[in-house]
Amino acid sequence: MGSTSAHNNEGLGRRNLIKRSAALGLITVPTMGFLSACATGGGPEDKPTAKETGTVSAKNPLGVKNGVALEAFIFKGGLGDQYAKDAEADYKTTYQAEVKHTGTQEVGPKLTPRFAGGNPPDVIDNSGANHLDMNKLSSQGQLQDLGVLLDAASLDDPNKKVRDVIHPSTLEKGKHGDKFDVLYYAFTIYGTWYSQKLMQDKGWTYPKTLDEMVKLCGDIKKEGIAPWTYAGKYPYYVHFNLFAQIAKIGGMPAWIEIDNLEPNAWTKNDAVKQVIEHYEELAAKKYFLEGSEGLTHIQSQTSWTKNNAVFIPNGSWVENEAAPTTPKDFGMSVGALLDGTGDKLPSGTLRGEPSEPYIVSAKGKNPLGGMELLRIMLSKKHAQNFATKVKSLTCVVDATEGMTLSPGLASASAAVKAAGDNLISLQLQEWYPALTDEKIGGLTGQLLTGDLKASEWIKKTQAEADKVAQDSAVTKFKRAG
């Protein structure tokens, strides 16, 4: 959290759903030695070798061999890595095996040469600014097909498979083509975050519509407080809300056209116009904290927890990451997406989606052990441990039932319940980070400082999306409409 540098301490959402510009250098690292290829189903390299296989039983459905060492490489940022060490301890006890643990913020630089040399660790939390390019690894058969894990009995209930106890969107998010080879362990809630205490003290109510938000911002400004702040050094933080707001108003089929880089997907969608004009209005009325364009995510969060601004676009990792500066009575809360005009999705719709990508190396020494560690982590015991230690949900459904939750996590959990099935999950930032973080992020930065009109943002964003669509060097992925 606050103990690491601002740039590397990415925050859960930045470390998993977003491939930041700082990470883009890894996409074409020559030492990877990878040829361009499309993601395919599991090939021979996906099958663990016989020497690593133990006896399959009810308690050992994957057939992990006793005594075989396991190597885990875990991103150590805003979430720390203790939660992973706790699961590793259970693995060590169960299989009488040594577990080599590395906690780092340099996953990509440290592991790129190891993948190239055929000596990758068994299980990896592939997060942080300097992560590995999973699209490329998957297309080269470097990632273990985790279908066998999904079909294994869950740790808590042998009558339920692992796939039955995790959120359905986790199954969609972790696919490259038809192969499920990334397990997003956490479940992040994105939205507009605020202090419940400040709102109550001032008599303000979280708005339900875009128009109500503009009106409330006017009232807030009159009180001498900035309505909004954001991480201007990384303006794509604003996309956590902005993109989902477009999907909420325009509907998922129209957003999926954006994910799929369809022609005119941005320019023909009225929801894009509504949302970008909303942000243009916020900028024109100077509803953003002065100087926000120069702030890192940590600095913007600190301004927010000091009540210099009421709202911040962020993900549910913010409670853990901003803990060092958050007053005890702050009452951290998250608001759902706002209603526009002619919305395709109902009030209360929320962006909630899998995050924190775990991968198992197909060519590691113990891929079965890597999958077993994930099975242990997907137990209620470890899902609850994660919630307690890092104030975040996991992909394990209803794992926090009956727990006493921290304010932000309780608010996020309540928002998920209120949203029901109306949870939005987006892929654009995952699939095309150079587009969203560098190109569109730059445009969004200009929009928020009033240096770019909404109409120009839309036109230029479409042009940037078209460039990616036409670039044969970029592997393309498609969502079903």
Q: What is the pLDDT of residues 422-446, one digit of tens each?
A: 999 999 988 898 899 899 999 999 9
Which distant-in-sequence residues (6+ apart) come within 8 Å of 282 by Cβ? 214, 217, 227, 228, 288, 448
59: how many CB neighbours lie within 10 A of its CB? 9
Q: How many CA atoms lie within 13 A of 167 on its CB side?
A: 28
Fold of 189-352+427-469: D-Maltodextrin-Binding Protein; domain 2 (3.40.190)
What pLDDT score does 47 carry?
Answer: 52
The confidence band for 78, taking pLDDT boundaries of 50, 70 and 90, is confident
Question: Is 189 within 8 Å of 240 (Cβ atoms)?
Answer: no
CA distances from 103 to 85, 100, 110, 126, 375 (A): 10, 10, 11, 11, 20
What are the residue boundaries of the structural domains of the chain, listed by start? 12-185+355-401, 189-352+427-469
Q: Where are the alpha helices (DSSP H) in 209-313?
A: 210-222, 239-250, 252-259, 270-284, 297-305
Assess whether pLDDT exceeds 70 at residue 246.
Answer: yes
Assess whether pLDDT exceeds 50 at residue 274.
Answer: yes
More confident of the two residues 229 and 80? 229
CA 279 to chain centre: 23
The radius of gyration of the chain's CA atoms, rounded to the nearest angstrom, is 22
More confident of the two residues 420 and 12? 420
What pLDDT score does 344 carry?
Answer: 98
The predicted model gives 238-267 an average pLDDT of 98
* Class of the CATH-defined domain 12-185+355-401: alpha beta
More confident of the two residues 16 and 202? 202
Strands 179-180 and 175-176: antiparallel
Does the fold of domain 189-352+427-469 match that of domain 12-185+355-401?
yes
What pLDDT score does 52 carry?
Answer: 67
Assess whether pLDDT exceeds 50 at residue 41.
Answer: no
Phi-psi map region of 342: left, alpha, beta (phi>0 left; psi -120 to 50 alpha) = left
What pLDDT score does 169 carry?
Answer: 87
The token duo for 204 is 């303000």
What pLDDT score does 177 carry?
Answer: 83
Assess whether pLDDT exceeds 90 at residue 5.
Answer: no
411: how many CB neighbours lie within 10 A of its CB? 23
Assess whether pLDDT exceeds 80 at residue 126.
Answer: yes
What pLDDT score does 475 carry?
Answer: 84
What percentage of the chain exceeds 70 in pLDDT?
89
